[in-house]
Amino acid sequence: MTAHRFDPTILREYDIRGIVGKTLHPADARAIGRAFGTMVARGGGKTVALGYDGRQSSPSLQEACVEGLRAAGVDVVRIGLCATPMLYFAVYELNADGGIMITGSHNPPDYNGFKMMMGKKPFYGADIQALGQLSAMGDVATGAGGLTERSVLEAYAARVVRDARPGRKLKVVWDTGHGAVGVSIRDVISRLPGEHTVLYERVDGTFPAHHPDPTVEANLEDLKAEVRKQGADLGIAFDGDGDRIGAIDGQGRILWGDQLLAIWARDVLKERPGATIIADVKASQVLFDEIAAAGGTPLMYKTGHSLIKVKMAELGSPLAGEMSGHVFFADRWYGFDDALYAGVRLLDIVASSPRSLAEMRDALPQLVNTPELRFDCDEDRKFKVVDEVKARLQKAGATFSDVDGVRVSTPDGWWLLRASNTQAVLVARCEARDAAGLDRLKDAVKAALAASGVAMPDNPSAGH
């Protein structure tokens, strides 16, 4: 194979992702397969599991990726159309040496990409850059790998519900948003007690009902309406590839990622007292306080699903999560983010409790906060701005954490400024005890940015 150079914008921190027909083409998929297969083979591996989501471009990218993997001498096991967590599961179930999921995740329909595992570990950061360099140099293996097809749907569905405890029967509405969880949702809920309704089950990569991102409130309106209409106990939503969860209580109110994590953490800590529970730097202080109150050890860590998975393994943490809805159970599960499994664990807690999910939500301290505020900042400037703000905070003797950007504590609460690892944007968030305090925190962020010549727009794009 001749050398192949990728558009530099597609080699991201946690995955490979681009716009089909513009920055990402079948030739790229073939080169990704060839280079990844080379890395597997040179590491002593032989087999790669491969899955793809419901986007219209996914089948053709899959075919090209298979060609590349086999040309590197690697045997490919195709598991077909599925959500990303089912591909992760397949790597364990089939004892594969690696895995590739072709998915555009929660991005618009014209995007697609690749999430990878090397062995049982995330493949990210320097690994992705090394893949790009191998391809650019044409330093790839040659061989003739085999091709087989295996369905893991039955094994996956049985494993997801295996540890569910008997409890009261619930009425649940699920919104798969025409995403890839539509493949497995019936096989899972048919094994659960209670009454279940599924919205937008048909997999359709054009996402005709709504965009498949459960952290954006507008995408949850249909789920809210159906929960209210049915008088359901709760509703659960997924992103396009099923590794992020959203939830609605019986009153139609959203529980954000950190509120859900507080509920899961209490449950996990009953059996794992003292365990370290990890959350990203965007999470509410309420969460860290709740973990400590439940007898756990809270750890604030960097945003990024690959980074968190690695930290969990390092510390033996049984549970971690992000505001974005990625939730990682290593308690009775594999440590990867699976929103369907997380949803079943949520049902399990509610079904075995005398309290409703709404009551659990109301029992959490109610603070006021902004959503995640995102605003454009040039790629070559975004990290420098954060460094400049940090230097001024140090000079002023401010109290802050710099585990990921700066999270500044004040008598009002806290504010966060960090650079996105995946986009040319700065991200801010503020949380306070009351509205006046929140306004003061927002003013502090604006002032910190203004000192670096950055104007925070009055209405930055928001997303949790």
Pairwise CA distance, residues 27 & 374, whole Å: 33
Q: Is the pLDDT of residue 152 over 70?
A: yes
**How many other β-carbons are positioned within 10 Å of the β-carbon of residue 145?**
23
Tokens linked to 210: 């709504």
Predicted confidence at residue 461, as pLDDT, reads: 56
- Mean pLDDT for 409-429 is 93
Q: Judging by beta carbons within 10 Å of its beta carbon (0-12, 13-18, 19+), is residue 81 exposed, middle or buried?
A: middle
What is the mean predicted confidence (pLDDT) over 8-15?
Answer: 92
Q: Please report the pLDDT score of residue 425 as a whole number.
A: 92
Domain annotation for the chain: domains and CATH numbers: 8-152 (3.40.120.10), 171-255+340-349 (3.40.120.10), 256-335 (3.40.120.10), 368-463 (3.30.310.50)
Check residues 143 and 166 and name the one with the higher pLDDT.
143
Radius of gyration of the chain (CA): 22
User: For residue 437, is pLDDT > 80?
Assistant: yes
The alpha carbon of 49 is separated from its chain's Cα centroid by a whole number of angstroms, namely 20
Cα separation, 98 vs 41, in Å, equals 10
- Name the residues annotated as catalytic: 105
pLDDT above 90 for 41 = yes
Phi, psi (deg, nearest 5) at residue 10: -90, -15
Closest to 431 in 3D by CA, of 258, 213, 302, 247: 258
Q: Region 406-430: what's the mean pLDDT?
A: 94
The confidence score (pLDDT) of residue 458 equals: 73
Q: How many CA within 13 A on the CB side of residue 36?
A: 34
The DSSP string of 203-217 is --TT-SSS-S-TTSG
- In one letter, which amino acid is 277? I
Mean pLDDT is highest, among 7-11, 25-29, 367-371, 417-421, for 25-29
C-alpha to C-alpha distance for 299 and 280, rounded to whole angstroms: 8
| CA–CA gap between residue 75 and residue 147 (Å, rounded) | 6
Tell me which H or E stretch contains 306.
Answer: helix 305-315
Residue 134, H or E segment: helix 126-137
- Tell the burial category of 271 from Cβ atoms under 10 Å away from its Cβ (0-12, 13-18, 19+): exposed
Q: What's the pLDDT score for residue 460?
A: 61
Q: 3-state DSSP: the chain helix, strand, coil percent, rounded to 5? A: 40, 25, 40
First to last CA, the chain: 43
Considering Cα of 132, then 137, then 138, then 139, what sign does the dihedral take? negative
| CA 450 distance to own-chain centroid | 32
What is the distance between the alpha carbons of residues 180 and 129, in angstroms, rounded to a whole number?
28
Give 259-309 pLDDT, tens digit per residue: 999 999 999 999 999 999 999 999 999 999 999 999 999 999 999 889 999
pLDDT of residue 464: 40
**How far is it, in rounded angstroms, from Cα 390 to Cα 401?**
10
Residue 175 pairs with which residues in a beta bridge?
A: 199, 237
* 297: exposed, middle or buried (Cβ count in 10 Å: 0-12, 13-18, 19+): middle
Across the chain, mean pLDDT equals 95
Q: How confident is the model at residue 422 (pLDDT cuts 50, 70, 90)?
A: confident
pLDDT computed for residue 239 by the predictor: 96
Report the percentage of the chain scoring pLDDT > 70.
98
Strand duo 372-376 + 461-463: pairing: antiparallel
> What percent of the chain has pLDDT above 90?
92
